[in-house]
Every structure is written in C-alpha cells, then in structure tokens.
Amino acid sequence: MDRIEPRHIVRMFSRMTHLYGHKWASVYGAATDADGKLTASAKQWLYDLRDLTPDALAAGLESVVRKRLRWPPGPIELLDLCEGVPTVVEVLDRDHDYGPLCTAIRRRIDWWAVEGASSDRVVELATTQVERAINALRRSPEAAALFGSIPAPDPAVQAQIGTSSR
C-alpha cells in the first residue's frame, strides 16, 4: 500500500496556503526551506499523516473544501476528514445521509436526552458517541471493513509499536 511521501506534504501545504492564506501560513509556515528541505512543521505533518495513502489525503483535502471549513484543520482533524469521520454537525443533522458510519453513530445517541438539552450538552453527547465509534473501529479491523471508511490498522505498524487489534 502506498504511503504519503514528502512531495505529498509539499502539495498539501501549497493547497492549504491557497485555501487559507495567512491562516495557514501563520500557524504552519512553509513546507520547505531555502534549500528545498522539509521544514520542521512539514516533517511533523508527514509523521502525523504517515499511515495515510495519497488517495486518502486527497479525499481529506477535498473534504476540507466540501465541508467549507473556515479555519485550517490540524493533523487530528485532517486525519478524521481523510478517514471519512463525520462531524458532530453531520451526526446531528438527521435530515441528510452522510454514510453508514454516521448512521451507526446516530443509532448510539440517546435522542431522548438530546430533546430539550442545551446546545453544549447536545454537542457533548454527539461528540462522545463519535469518539467511541471511531475508537472502536480503529481497534477492530473487522468493524472497519464493514463500514469501509476507516482503514484497518496495518499489522506491520501494530507489530512495531507493540499493539494488536485482537
């Protein structure tokens, strides 16, 4: 399976700078230095996104535009976008179909508790269910395969870091 390379990060920085201008540049800076080498910021992004494929990164960048994010995402938010994780707003929007993962998360929300709750409480309830679903799916390659949105963990990487989904 292809993994992202420094050239993908350079393109991502270019795309984010185009989309967000100073909002991106003031936080993350440039992807390369005067010698054409990755900056510390770009190296950190490469590390944080190391398990993504180029196609997953492209899908995440398209999600940034499609979801009209007003501020540039950080690495964790971009990973969620690349993996097809629904936002809390999408989970709470029951009038639209955002895919099987979103539907599965909605089924776990106590909608009786949502009725009449403060907006902060509603967001808290939905966020909790999103986080639980994502954690469960990341631990279980079988569950991830059912949804098809979150890639199953790479067994070689799990062996290197001493974890296993079983």
Q: Is 130 exposed, middle or buried (0-12, 13-18, 19+ CB in 10 A)?
A: buried
Range with the poorest average pLDDT among 64-78, 87-101, 129-143, 152-166: 152-166
104 vs 100: CA distance, rounded Å: 6
pTM score over 0.75 = no
Among 12, 150, 1, smallest CA distance to 81 is for: 150
Among 4, 142, 129, smallest CA distance to 79 is for: 4
160 vs 166: CA distance, rounded Å: 15
High-pLDDT (> 70) share of the chain, %: 84
Higher pLDDT, 109 or 157: 109
Rounded to the nearest 10 degrees, the angle between the axes of helix 40-48 and helix 6-20 is 110
Among 24, 2, 3, 5, smallest CA distance to 15 is for: 24
pLDDT value, residue 89: 85
Among 34, 50, 43, 35, smallest CA distance to 13 is for: 43
